[in-house]
Amino acid sequence: MSGAPRTASEASSPAPNELLLRVRFEETDMMGIVHHSRYWAWFEEARFAFMERVLAVTVAELRAQAVYMPVVDSRCSYLRSVTWSERLAVRVLMQATQGPRFCFYYELRNAQQGFCAARAATRHVFTSAEMGLKLRVPDLYVARWAQAVCAHPEAFTERPPQGFRGTWP
């Protein structure tokens, strides 16, 4: 069934900036290979898990403050095929840039064999409900960011991680 929730064991993770998944049949093509579009759904799921586990910010809190974080750019390098029933781990790192812009980096690995299947990045901006760029970082985010960097320094990066192609200005 589309949108079926992951099991508790698949949704839990040893690291707060990591999400474990298992490839479902519906995510594959006739050859049992995952369609490239599914990777973006996994990255989104991992990003929101990161926000809740690492930043301790929920979507409801952001919406209550009329704060949105649309994706304004995205990139992905597909390194190896992923197949039905593989167990995967999506590791997320966050990089803050100047002002209201920030990036998430994703590494998708086979959780059993350890090989890297994909690396991706998304760039975001803080906006209002009217999609106007916020010129400063919202207070809720600033407070949670400071706490998260101290509690989970392994989840943050100052520059694109090794193996990620290209940079954004």
Structure-model confidence comparison of residues 37 and 161, the more confident one:
37
User: Considering the domain boundaries, does residue 126 fall inside one?
Assistant: yes
| Overall domain count for the chain | 1
Instruction: Please report whether residue 2 resides in a domain.
Output: no
Residues 126/68, Cβ–Cβ less than 8 Å: yes
The backbone torsions φ and ψ at residue 85, rounded to the nearest 5 degrees and listed phi first, read 70, 5
166 part of a folded domain: no
pLDDT one-digit tens code per residue, 123-146: 999 888 777 777 778 888 888 888
| Span of 109-113, 140-144, 153-157 with lowest mean pLDDT | 140-144
Indicate whether 133 belongs to any domain.
yes
Q: Which two tokens stand for residue 134?
A: 């916020």
User: Diameter of the chain by CA atoms?
Assistant: 48
pLDDT given at position 41? 97
CATH code of the domain in which 67 resides: 3.10.129.10
What range defines the domain where residue 15 resides? 8-155
